[in-house]
Structure 1
């Protein structure tokens, strides 16, 4: 009995450690005071309105959103092709290459950002916007390859073989049979890629330029010079956006799994 109480206490403390900072951010975002403080001086929505009035924050949000979408979509396409090539030819070389694809996530982001700046911008003279996309692509690609390749390994190859036996061309068999079964993995890879790209600071810090700032870095600059709850309000909006995104993704994955079960006659 005491053992169960101890485990429950540990679980409660862990949840408090995770959610307490988020709750404090939500509370301070509605504070009428001009500084981030608790307890509240009064209830106000002025800081949410200030987010939309700030040109730097809104432009940075658009930049981060566009960058994360581009990097995630390109990463999904490249990751899908690379995963197909690695999984279809299993062996030591494929396993080694899969480990190499994981290597960028093992290197500190600030090191990757500095190396990319020196090589892409200084040496190759690549424009900053293209260098920033390539840098974020390097961040998201390991997630895409690992998730999609794991799903491909679990996919029953007899489904594709049956489609081709019935006269379906290879390309059409891939698009109509294989790709729909990979949808949950692709959506998961896209979600992880988008979140990691959107929230990245180290790589963006080196590859950003005039008029090309990202939202996390803009928020960090705002906190440095302004201690008002504007960033708290923006954080609440981002949390709500992420929550809605995850709910829609979860429903989409559940719908796909239900359709797959119905197709298999389960």
Structure 2
């Protein structure tokens, strides 16, 4: 084997009668990925969908992660909210706890925490909110790995607190030269060509390099790679990435199960 990598995906991002992505995409993606970031009800998800997603993940041996977010159903958690630290801490604890109960009912458990959307991006630099997220995770279970952007404040604070950390890269998102993501809505923010995405991920895993906008090579050391379920053609993207990694001799396995 030429290394190993976790393949994760954001799942369970519907709500009530509303669904996200292509019909049947979540089930198909669970047959490909090794870790499932399950929406915890704040940016998407409801108890029925959360429980069903956990059951489907557990049945396939896929690790369940708490995909915590700002309380922002209307904005799908992609708008920054200036939430006081004590409120954010309580809300993250609440989300992890809700998913943990449903995961246990499905015969599994929450194996890691990955913030979503605007919260994920904010705690790359926002010290106060990053500390609130770390405090929340530590209060629930200090053995839970924290997934975040390489070089982010939240990963630094988690390491200082003694929490396990996993640096993450994105298969279907464009990068800027500083290693942050191209903001959604800008050209090059979302990548949808399966061959291009697969090549990028293989190079990332084997060489630790991704090409940013403008053609600059950026070094990234990642333990997990994400494919978003709402990216057009997400199932084909994920299948292509996994197939290319396997063909390159990479062991695709969940970090939380190592």
TM range (shorter): under 0.3
Q: Higher helix fraction: Structure 1 or Structure 2?
A: 1
Q: TM-score w.r.t. structure 1 length? A: 0.24
Q: Higher strand fraction: Structure 1 or Structure 2?
A: 2
Q: Which has the higher contact order (CA 8 A, sep 6+)?
A: 1
